[in-house]
Amino acid sequence: MTEQHDRGTPAFDPSAAALVTGLYVPGDRPDRFEKAVATGADLVILDLEDAVAPDQKAAARDAVVRWMTSRNTSETDAVIQVRINADQGAGVDAGRGAVPCADFQADLTALAPLHASFELRVPKVETTADLDAVVRLAPGRPITALIETARGVENAVLIAQHEAVTRLALGESDLASDLGTAAREAIDYARVRILFAARAAGLPAPMLSAFTDIRNLAALRADTERGRALGWVGRTAVHPTQLAVIAEAFRPDSEAVAWASAVVNSIQDGGVSTLTSGEMVDPAMLGRAHSILGLAARLAAQSPTLK
């Protein structure tokens, strides 16, 4: 049975370990790997799954391994993740001798011996058995569990509690296909469920799913702001032009920063205080205030590419 454990408290700052900007890069485009890191994104995802055609899977895997082997990924400011192929043999049948998907097994076999610092992004996670299958082949790697089905959403609490999981993520396009609808209400339900699961397990607030309408930056901004209002922090992108929009959507405005600073200064010794605006504040508001200040500081230090 998978160990369940508490990695946080209600006072945990959800922005402290959060990543604000992420960028997907096709694994068969090694010419783009360093360019992706140079954008200043917090997270760079080398994709072996959806972005790679079936006949290019082996070439993409080799390219990612060569790049990870040839450079010191621990020296980059970006978190590096590799999205592996899904294990179609996992899930409910994993404990009954199911044979793992060939690309899934080949990905982890190739990545497991590497000494570079990187995380695994595991798609189509529906149960903790899916995660156990990853750990057996590549133990010790932090895992972002990518939830993309109704079953995964309903099991999000257990998935978040798995000992190898350090982040949750939502694949909205796959989820819409599984549900048969991309209605806002359905996606928002999944967003709320996954946020609660992550925070209850002491994990950082998840990043929003990639927005696939690359040219529609206004729609990207609007949807990102909706996700932010729901409590999510950060978003992955499929094109570098989206990064600045994402960063700006999460950048606290001057009014929010002023409020957060006033809260921290007013109740740093505990107790109840009243701001000059007349608003009563108490220690219950400190978490929100620190989150705002943490995001503001993080984005102020971002690469000029994202400003």
Output the pLDDT for position 74.
63
Cα–chain-centroid distance for residue 56? 26
* Residues 48 and 66 reside in one and the same domain: yes
Output the pLDDT for position 291.
75
Output the pLDDT for position 303.
53
Output the pLDDT for position 230.
94
* Residues 276 and 145 reside in one and the same domain: no
Output the pLDDT for position 8.
43
* Residues 197 and 75 reside in one and the same domain: yes
Q: What is the pLDDT along the chain (307 residues), one digit of tens a residue?
A: 343 444 543 333 444 456 899 999 999 999 999 999 999 999 999 999 999 999 999 999 999 999 999 987 666 789 999 999 998 754 444 444 455 589 999 999 999 999 989 999 999 999 999 999 999 999 999 999 999 999 999 999 999 999 999 999 999 999 999 999 999 999 999 999 999 999 999 999 999 999 999 999 999 999 999 999 999 999 999 999 999 999 999 988 777 777 777 777 777 766 777 777 877 777 777 777 777 777 777 777 765 455 4
| Structural domains counted in the chain | 2
> Alpha-carbon distance 45 to 208, whole Å?
14
Asked if residue 92 is part of any domain, the answer here is: yes
CA angle 138, 139, 141 (to 5 degrees): 85
* Residues 149 and 262 reside in one and the same domain: no
* Residues 260 and 121 reside in one and the same domain: no
* Residues 57 and 150 reside in one and the same domain: yes
* Residues 82 and 187 reside in one and the same domain: yes
Asked if residue 38 is part of any domain, the answer here is: yes
Which residues span the domain enclosing 295? 255-304
* Residues 167 and 278 reside in one and the same domain: no
* Residues 93 and 219 reside in one and the same domain: yes
Output the pLDDT for position 13.
42
* Residues 288 and 175 reside in one and the same domain: no
CATH number of 103's domain: 3.20.20.60
* Residues 29 and 173 reside in one and the same domain: yes
* Residues 73 and 186 reside in one and the same domain: yes
Output the pLDDT for position 150.
98
> Alpha-carbon distance 18 to 232, whole Å?
9
Asked if residue 150 is part of any domain, the answer here is: yes
* DSSP per-residue letters across 38-89: HTT-SEEEEESSTTS-GGGHHHHHHHHHHHHHHS-GGGSSSEEEEEPPP-TT
